[in-house]
Amino acid sequence: MPINPADSPIFGALYGTDEMREAFSDQALMRRMLEVEAALARVQADLGIIPLEAAEAIARAAKPDVLDPSALRESARMIGYPVQGVAKALAQAAGEEAARYVHWGATTQDIADTALVLQTRQGLYLIEHDLRALVRALARQAHEHRDTVMAGRTFLQQALPITFGYKCAVWLASFLDHLDRLKELRPRALKVQFAGAVGTLASLGERGRAVTLGLARALELAAPEAPWHVARDGVVETASFLGIVSGCLAKIAGDVILLSQTEVGEVSEPAEGGRGGSSTLPQKRNPLGSTYVVSAARGVQALLPLMFGALVQEHERATGAWQSEQLALPQIFVLTAGALSQAVALVEGLNVDAQRMRANLDATGGLILSEAVSMALAEKIGRQDAHHRVQQAAHKALRENRSFATVLGEDPIVQRHLDHAALARLLDPAHYIGEAKDVVDRVLVRAAKY
């Protein structure tokens, strides 16, 4: 039974996805190591460093079934990583003549890091796939609710009217930025690692760089100018990107949780038989998906310090820092994938109650439009005096539990400058949403490019 719920057959559906767990599984890592070893042999054969027959034998033998899990476990226990066990098993399977050319000129970290990059590439592909699905879902909600007026809130209190489409567009804009970030990230994060014991490739003489370039081409990775075995900024940037994504997902989920409170009731999660139900309270439908988005994001954020700590690596091979990445990066990918999966389902099926939004706008008796009245009155009597009069009227309406419009109408200065029709228009939330619809339109134009 896994210790981490994200890897659990019971809790895994809440905290991750099967596809991401597979991408970072032990089995996937071993396959990637074999892929790197086979590609290395082919490149070296093309360059005349090892015999072509040996490279072909190595490539044929580079299949997962040549690996013995117990031998790999022992290799990891004795050496700290299973790479040597992989190389040994591959050599045995390739045959006596080819065996001597397995892992030629490489060191453990070359194979391990390049395998990690191949896993990362698959992980980022899965993340991008779900990011695009989320962008589509948010764009649809923004479009459908471009004109759905609701209360905008600051410090958890009603502040000014907005539209729900505007709220979705603000969420959406961040994820459009994330897709841009991902495009920019890939060249820095997806680099081959082939540098030998200390990064100089001395064992290959003058042919080291040619092997590095060839291996990069074979694996469709970038070729770095310098080895990065102790320069982990690309790995940490990847983790940081996932941390930002998961944090933005938690922002959406947190808003949904607040908007679905009984006293607010403006949105609710998709209805699915029994989902979010209480074991004792039949009436409840808890915001389950949002809850686990927030939970997963907190898990990612808790793991990021471990990745940042691993930036400090001694000399040309780290003692503990490199190794500690294994404790954090796969889980960061899995938790982010889980949060994304929950968020996509949440946004796609989100129930929006426009009538409740309107009712909540009216709950303060027009007080949410106090700024609109103040600004209109300021044009007649000056900002300071207008602000004071409207503030006094607002406090009186609250204190006496009366309509804001009624109290305003009793002020002779307000009466003189704002007649009944003008006040009615100023106190209509739909007439005071500023650029809300324009924001939606601008973001949707950008989203259409994705």
Q: Residue 190 domain-assigned? A: yes
Q: Do residues 142 and 439 lie in contact, with contact meaning Cβ atoms separated by under 8 Å?
A: no
Written as one string, the DSSP assignment of 141-170 is HHHHTTT-EEEEEETTEEEEEEEHHHHHHH
Q: What are residue 158's DSSP bridge partners? A: 153
The number of angstroms, rounded, from the C-alpha of 180 to the middle of its chain's C-alpha atoms is 13
Instruction: State pTM to two decimals.
Output: 0.93
pLDDT at 275: 57
Q: Does residue 66 sit in the same domain as residue 161? A: yes
Q: Does residue 201 sit in the same domain as residue 82? A: yes
Written as one string, the DSSP assignment of 413-433 is HHHHHS-HHHHHHHT-GGG--
Q: Do residues 50 and 104 lie in contact, with contact meaning Cβ atoms separated by under 8 Å?
A: yes
Give, in degrees to the nearest 5, the angle at Cα 49 between 47 and 50: 115
Among candidate residues 307, 337, 358, the one where a domain is terminated: 358
Q: Does residue 373 sit in the same domain as residue 336? A: no
Neighbours of 49 (CB within 10 A): 20
Q: Do residues 135 and 175 lie in contact, with contact meaning Cβ atoms separated by under 8 Å?
A: yes
pLDDT at 281: 45
Q: Residue 82 domain-assigned? A: yes
- By annotation, the residues acting in catalysis are 278, 317
Q: Which domain holds residue 205?
A: 5-358
Q: Residue 439 domain-assigned? A: no
Supply the CATH number for residue 381's domain: 1.10.40.30
Q: Does residue 411 sit in the same domain as residue 340? A: no
Q: Which two tokens stand for residue 61?
A: 């033998």
Helix ranges restricted to H, 145-271: 164-189, 208-219, 233-259
Neighbours of 181 (CB within 10 A): 15
Among candidate residues 328, 358, 388, the one where a domain is terminated: 358
Q: Does residue 210 sit in the same domain as residue 336? A: yes
**Tokens 């949060």 -> residue:** 339
Q: Residue 126 domain-assigned? A: yes
Neighbours of 234 (CB within 10 A): 20
Q: What is the pLDDT of residues 350-406, one digit of tens each?
A: 999 999 999 999 999 899 999 999 999 999 899 999 999 999 999 999 999 998 989
Q: Residue 447 domain-assigned? A: no
Q: Does residue 353 sit in the same domain as residue 372? A: no
Task: State how many domains the chain has.
Answer: 2
Report the Cα–Cα distance between both ends of the chain, in Å, rounded: 41
Q: What is the pLDDT of residues 303-335, one digit of tens each?
A: 999 999 999 999 998 888 888 999 999 999 999
Q: Does residue 340 sit in the same domain as residue 393? A: no
**Tokens 């809300």 -> residue:** 436
Q: Does residue 66 sit in the same domain as residue 106? A: yes
Q: Does residue 336 sit in the same domain as residue 413? A: no
pLDDT at 420: 87
Q: Does residue 172 sit in the same domain as residue 97? A: yes
Q: Does residue 288 sit in the same domain as residue 389? A: no
Angle between helices 108-144 and 321-348 (to 10 degrees): 20
Which residue positions in the chain have pLDDT lower than 70? Answer: 1, 272-284
**Tokens 């982010």 -> residue:** 336
Helix ranges restricted to H, 349-401: 354-361, 370-381, 383-400
Supply the CATH number for residue 289's domain: 1.20.200.10
User: For 2, left (φ over 0), alpha (ψ -120 to 50), or beta?
Assistant: beta
Q: Residue 444 domain-assigned? A: no
Q: Residue 205 domain-assigned? A: yes
Q: Residue 431 domain-assigned? A: no
Q: Does residue 353 sit in the same domain as residue 386? A: no
Helix ranges restricted to H, 286-320: 288-309
pLDDT at 415: 87
